[in-house]
């Protein structure tokens, strides 16, 4: 036991140092968000001497519209990715038709194309469809862009399910939709949550696409709005509201991970251990 502890001690030290380096910027951001201007000037690295809650009320007044836009876009696009991706994956996994494998390989090949290369073609397509400066300019491309990875992951999972489950359901009179909704979807909840989280993270943090397709500031997502919000404090001494805005922008993702981490880890590790 002692030999094991002695052997693991350097590893624990390295992990602790890595954790401190990882969480210190977030801790500093939260700490600074409660500081008043004099406290920030004279006590830069220390804890706030008094709590300035007005920083959060000021920040929320200015970014609440951006947060609402991001919630609408992220949740809608994630739901679209899950629905279309799961149906497509079910077809690839459980149906036999000519060209199935070739079509799936074409989809996999699309994963190798960097997203930045599709920026100009996607912009021209959205503009030609008259979707500029609408939520559809964000939601539809996000749904289309998230399909490939979702189909790849869910198709592999659906194909790994025992055929006996489907045969038993067919004997009981289940149709194709019931096989999809009654077997595949309930068993794939960790996979679905993992894909949803990854899509929400991507859409929440995306900056370039909303910037080029949404010129109207009232429809900006949080990634674009928070940059405009932060730049308004450059050259001033009111850093507290700016950091409070950063905290509020991060809060939905933190809450999301708090309530879904168990499913997220289960989804990442599904299939890693075989009976």
Nearest to 70 by CA among 261, 202, 227: 202
* Residue 42: inside a domain: yes
Report the distance separating Cα 241 and Cα 33, nearest Å.
6
For residue 2, the model assigns a pLDDT of 56
For residue 273, the model assigns a pLDDT of 45
> Length of the chain, please?
275
Tokens of residue 132, six digits: 């500029």
For residue 274, the model assigns a pLDDT of 45
* Residue 159: inside a domain: yes
> What's the structural domain count of the chain?
1
CATH number at residue 170: 1.10.3720.10
Report the distance separating Cα 237 and Cα 235, nearest Å.
7
What single-letter DSSP state applies at residue 236? S
Owning domain of residue 81: 36-269
* Residue 28: inside a domain: no
Query: What is the block-wise mean pLDDT of the chain (275 residues), using blocks of 10 residues?
Result: 63 87 88 81 78 87 92 96 94 88 87 85 93 93 92 90 88 88 89 92 93 90 87 68 88 87 71 46
* Residue 22: inside a domain: no
* Residue 119: inside a domain: yes
Say which residues have a Cβ less than 8 Å from residue 174's Cβ, sequence separation at least 6: 182
For residue 209, the model assigns a pLDDT of 94
For residue 243, the model assigns a pLDDT of 86
Say which residues have a Cβ less than 8 Å from residue 25's Cβ, sequence separation at least 6: none
- Can you tell me which residue has the tokens 């399910």? 161
**Cα-based distances in Å from 40 to 45, 58, 159, 227, 239:** 8, 17, 57, 21, 8
* Residue 116: inside a domain: yes
* Residue 113: inside a domain: yes
* Residue 274: inside a domain: no
Report the distance separating Cα 78 and Cα 202, nearest Å.
10
């Amino acid at each position: 036991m002692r030999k094991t502890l002695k052997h693991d001690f350097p590893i624990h030290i390295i992990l602790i140092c890595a954790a401190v380096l990882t969480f210190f910027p977030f801790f500093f951001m939260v700490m600074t968000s409660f500081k008043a201007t004099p406290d920030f000037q004279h006590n830069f690295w220390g804890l706030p001497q008094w709590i300035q809650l007005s920083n959060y009320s000021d920040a929320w007044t200015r970014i609440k519209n951006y947060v609402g836009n991001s919630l609408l876009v992220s949740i809608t696009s994630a739901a679209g990715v899950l629905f279309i991706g799961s149906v497509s994956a079910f077809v690839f996994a459980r149906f036999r038709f000519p060209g199935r494998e070739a079509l799936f390989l074409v989809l996999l090949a699309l994963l190798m194309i960097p997203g930045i290369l599709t920026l100009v073609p996607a912009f021209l397509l959205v503009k030609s469809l008259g979707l500029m400066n609408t939520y559809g300019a964000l939601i539809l491309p996000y749904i289309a862009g998230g399909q490939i990875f979702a189909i790849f992951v869910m198709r592999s999972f659906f194909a790994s399910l025992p055929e006996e489950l489907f045969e038993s359901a067919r004997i009981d009179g289940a149709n194709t939709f019931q096989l999809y909704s009654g077997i595949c979807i309930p068993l794939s909840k960790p996979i679905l949550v993992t894909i949803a989280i990854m899509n929400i993270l991507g859409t929440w943090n995306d900056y370039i696409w909303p910037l080029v397709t949404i010129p109207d500031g009232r429809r900006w997502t949080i990634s674009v709005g928070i940059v405009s919000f932060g730049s308004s404090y450059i050259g001033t001494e009111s850093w507290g509201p700016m950091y409070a805005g950063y905290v509020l922008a991060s809060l939905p993702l933190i809450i999301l991970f708090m309530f879904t981490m168990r499913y997220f880890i289960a989804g990442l590790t599904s299939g890693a251990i075989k009976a």
